[in-house]
Structures are given as C-alpha cells and as structure tokens.
Amino acid sequence: MKESAAVNRVNRRDLLVGTGALTGGAILASAGFSNAASTAGARAATQLPGYDAGAGEYVLPPLPYAYDALEPSIDAQTMQLHHDIHHAGYVRGLNAALARLAEMRASGDFGLVKHWSRQAAFAGSGHFLHAVFWTNMAPAGDGGGGEPPSELADALTESFGSVEAFRNQFSAAARSVEGSGWGILAYEPVSGRMQVLQAEKHQNLGQWGVVPLLVLDVWEHAYYLNYQNRRGDYVDAFWNIVNWKNVAERLSAASS
Ligand SMILES: [Fe+2]
C-alpha cells in the first residue's frame, strides 16, 4: 500500500477513536442508513436507502439487478424468495422490535426488554447485512467476478498477504459457519486493516466497530434450492459474481 493511503487510514482511525465513533453507527453508515455517522461517500458507495426518514421506518431496498441476473451462480427463484420474503421479514421484524421498545419507554414496563432487544439485534443485523450483500454482487462478466481493482488488491495484500490468501480464508470461513450465518470481510478503523469474520445467525460472533465490506450469506435459504447441501459449491460460485467495484467503494468510504 502507498504510504499516503496508510497515513490517511491512520488519521481516520485517530478521528474515530477521538470522537468515540467506534460503534455500530459505523456499520449503519456503511450499509447506507440515515445516521449521524453517515457520509456522502458512504451513501454514494452503497446507493441503497434502507431507511425512510420521512416515515421513520426501515424499508426494503430494491435489488440493483433482475432476479435472474446472477444465474447460474444464484438462480432467480432463490433471489426472489431471498429478497422479497426473507429480507423483507427482517425489515418488518426490526420495525416491530423498535416499536415494542418505544411502547416500553412510554409505559415504563420493561418486562420484555430482553426479548425485544434480542429481536432488534437479530432483525436489524439481518437487514443491514442483506442490504450490503445485494450490492456486493453483479452479473458475471458485467461487473461481477474477475479480480479486484489494483488499489483494493493492494489493500487485501497488506492485510492478508495476498489476494489469494484472503480469498482462501474468506471461503473457508464462509464454508465452516456453524449453522446459519455469514462470511464477512470487514474494515477495522482501529488498525486501518481488514479482517475476515464469521457471523452465526446475523448478530453473533461480530466485532463492534468494524465496517462490513463484503458479506456472503450462507443461510440455507441463500442456496439450498440449487445447491442443496453443497454449500462449498455455492461459496465457490460466489466469486464469479463478486462486485469488486462495490467492495472498493465501501473500503474507500470506510477508510477516508
Ligand atoms: Fe439471507
């Protein structure tokens, strides 16, 4: 990585630490949601409104391509069910959980605060990760697949040793998620480096303060119609539709 880029990242890290901004707000900003931490760059990178400020509710962002655009890596029926049913369910769940928590504040009865806080974490993380996931993909040969642009490749090499090493670690992490979850490439403002994480369900095993850049849904609803039990084949096919430009934009927004 060029020294100037590294310096910029250090400055960004210091700024975040100094303002106490190392919270889930960074994740929200990365996902393109209205938030005090959002920046014009983050919004431009995501191009997906997941929140209707006028209505005060989270909303389902449209897919940035047709249901069948990612075939044969991901079939049209899976995409339609995944986006229209599963993701929509997380949006409804998040709105419902926040409404119940607001009712508790009004009534002063917090007897179910543990339940609805858990629901907010589950549905909210599901909403945010799916919103990132859709933009992380593009049709093969039309923005999807291939190799990352040079600046992103340099950053991946700095963090993981090589692009291939990153790809191997990410694939292994995604394949081996226990039960339902995600493989996640995230930017860590504290160090200015990237790391690969797993998430179980949507909200478990995460780290506070990191910004998701590239996420792969390995819930069975993401692949079972076409791949059945062959999660590894689905993970391999994912590389044919990765939208590296989107990943690079997310890294730029998170680190500058
Ligand atoms: Fe999903």
Residue count of the chain, please give it.
Answer: 256
Q: How close is the Cα of 102 to the center of ligand 1, in Å?
A: 27
Q: How close is the Cα of 217 to the center of ligand 1, in Å?
A: 5
d(CA 140, CA 237): 10
- Residue pair 173/196 in contact (Cβ under 8 Å)? The answer is yes
Q: How close is the Cα of 64 to the center of ligand 1, in Å?
A: 16
- Residue pair 197/173 in contact (Cβ under 8 Å)? The answer is yes
Structurally, the chain folds into a number of domains equal to 1
| pLDDT, tens digit, 9 for 90 and up, residues 89-119 | 999 999 999 999 999 999 999 999 999 999 9
Q: How close is the Cα of 219 to the center of ligand 1, in Å?
A: 6
15 vs 177, which has greater pLDDT? 177
Q: How close is the Cα of 44 to the center of ligand 1, in Å?
A: 24
Beta bridge partners of 197: 184
Domain ranges, residue 174: 1-62+71-256
The packing angle between helices 113-135 and 88-107, to 10°, is 150
DSSP secondary structure letter of residue 222: G
Q: How close is the Cα of 4 to the center of ligand 1, in Å?
A: 38
Write out the DSSP string of 77-119.
HHHHIIIIIIIHHHHHHHHHHHHHHHHHHHH---TTHHHHHHH
Q: How close is the Cα of 180 to the center of ligand 1, in Å?
A: 9
Q: What percent of the chain has pLDDT over 70?
A: 81
* Six token digits for residue 56: 């005060």
- On the question of pLDDT at 195 being above 90, the answer is yes
**pLDDT at residue number 53:** 87
**Among 4-13, 65-74, 79-88, the least confident range:** 4-13
- Residue pair 51/59 in contact (Cβ under 8 Å)? The answer is yes
Q: How close is the Cα of 218 to the center of ligand 1, in Å?
A: 7
- On the question of pLDDT at 65 being above 90, the answer is yes
Write out the DSSP string of 116-130.
HHHHHHHHHHHHHHH
Q: How close is the Cα of 163 to the center of ligand 1, in Å?
A: 26
Q: How close is the Cα of 229 to the center of ligand 1, in Å?
A: 16
Q: What angle do CA 217, 220, 226 make, to 5 degrees?
A: 100
Q: How close is the Cα of 142 to the center of ligand 1, in Å?
A: 23
How many H helices and E strands in the chain?
11, 5
Q: Mention every residue, 6+ apart, whose C-beta is less than 8 A from residue 198.
A: 173, 174, 176, 177, 181, 182, 183, 184, 205
Mean pLDDT score across all residues of the chain: 86
Q: How close is the Cα of 129 to the center of ligand 1, in Å?
A: 8
Q: How close is the Cα of 255 to the center of ligand 1, in Å?
A: 27
d(CA 87, CA 78): 12
Q: How close is the Cα of 222 to the center of ligand 1, in Å?
A: 6
Largest CA distance in the chain: 56
> Which residue in 23, 45, 47 sits closest to 189, CA to CA?
23
Q: How close is the Cα of 186 to the center of ligand 1, in Å?
A: 18
What is the Cα 203 distance to its own chain's centre? Answer: 11
CATH number of the domain to which 138 belongs:
3.55.40.20
- On the question of pLDDT at 143 being above 60, the answer is yes
ω before 72 within 30° of 0 (cis)? yes
**pLDDT at residue number 49:** 62
Q: How close is the Cα of 80 to the center of ligand 1, in Å?
A: 11
